[in-house]
Amino acid sequence: MPSTLVTGGAGFIGREVCRELIEHGHQVRVLDSLIDQVHGPDQPVALHGVDLQRGDVRDAAAVRAALEGVDGVVHLAAEVGVGQSMYEIERYVSTNDTGTAVLLEAMIDRPVQRIVVASSMSVYGEGRYRTPDGRAVDDARRSPHQIAEGRWNLSTPQGEALSPVATDETKPVDLASIYALTKFFQEQAVLIFGRAYRRDAVALRLFNVFGPGQALSNPYTGVLANFSSRVASGEAPTIFEDGEQRRDFVHVRDVARAFRLALEVPGLRDTTINIGSGHAYTISEVARMVARAMGRELEPEIMHKARIGDIRNCFADISRARDLLGFAPRHALEDSLGELAEWVAQQKVVDRNAEMRRHLEARGLVA
pLDDT at 159: 87
Domain count along the chain:
1
Residue 367 included in any domain: no
CATH number of the domain where residue 320 is located? 3.40.50.720
Q: What is the domain range of residue 240?
A: 3-362
Predicted local distance difference test score (pLDDT) of residue 43: 53
In a domain, 253, yes or no: yes
Write down the pTM of the prediction. Answer: 0.93
Whole-number pLDDT of residue 75: 98
Task: Report, in angstroms and rounded to the nearest whole number, the Rg of the chain calculated over CA atoms.
Answer: 20
Q: What is the pLDDT of residue 328?
A: 97
Is residue 224 situated within a structural domain? yes
Q: Mapped to the 3 state alphabet, what secondary structure does the chain carry?
A: CCEEEEECCCCHHHHHHHHHHHHCCCEEEEEECCCHHHHCCCCCCCCCCEEEEECCCCCHHHHHHHHCCCCEEEECCCCCCHHHHCCCHHHHHHHHHHHHHHHHHHHCCCCCCEEEEEEEHHHHCCCEEECCCCCEECCCCCCHHHHHCCCCCCECCCCCECEEECECCCCCCCCCCHHHHHHHHHHHHHHHHHHHHCCEEEEEEECEEECCCCCCCCCCCCHHHHHHHHHHCCCCCEECCCCCCEECEEEHHHHHHHHHHHHHCCCCCCEEEEECCCCCEEHHHHHHHHHHHCCCCCCCEECCCCECCCCCEECECCHHHHHHHCCCCCCCHHHHHHHHHHHHHCCCCCCCHHHHHHHHHHCCCEC
Report yes or no on 332 lying in a domain.
Answer: yes
pLDDT (0 to 100) of residue 37: 57
220 is catalytic: no
The four Cα atoms 55, 218, 306, 230 give a dihedral, to 10 degrees, of: 170
Q: Which of 124, 129, 179, 220 is catalytic?
A: 179
First to last CA, the chain: 53
- Report the pLDDT value the prediction gives residue 144, as an integer from 0 to 100: 85
Say if residues 177 and 84 touch (Cβ distance below 8 Å): no
Rounded to whole angstroms, the Cα distance separating 169 from 186 reads 16
Domain assignment present for residue 189? The answer is yes
Residue 151, in any domain of the structure:
yes
Can you give the pLDDT at residue 1?
75
pLDDT by residue, tens only, the chain of 367 residues? 799 999 999 999 999 999 999 999 999 999 999 875 555 544 556 678 899 999 999 999 999 999 999 999 999 999 998 888 999 999 999 999 999 999 999 999 999 999 999 999 999 999 999 999 999 999 999 988 888 888 999 999 888 999 999 999 999 999 989 999 999 999 999 999 999 999 999 999 999 999 998 877 676 667 888 888 889 888 898 999 999 999 999 999 999 999 999 999 999 999 999 999 999 999 999 999 999 999 998 899 999 988 877 899 999 999 999 999 999 999 999 999 999 989 888 887 776 666 767 766 777 667 6
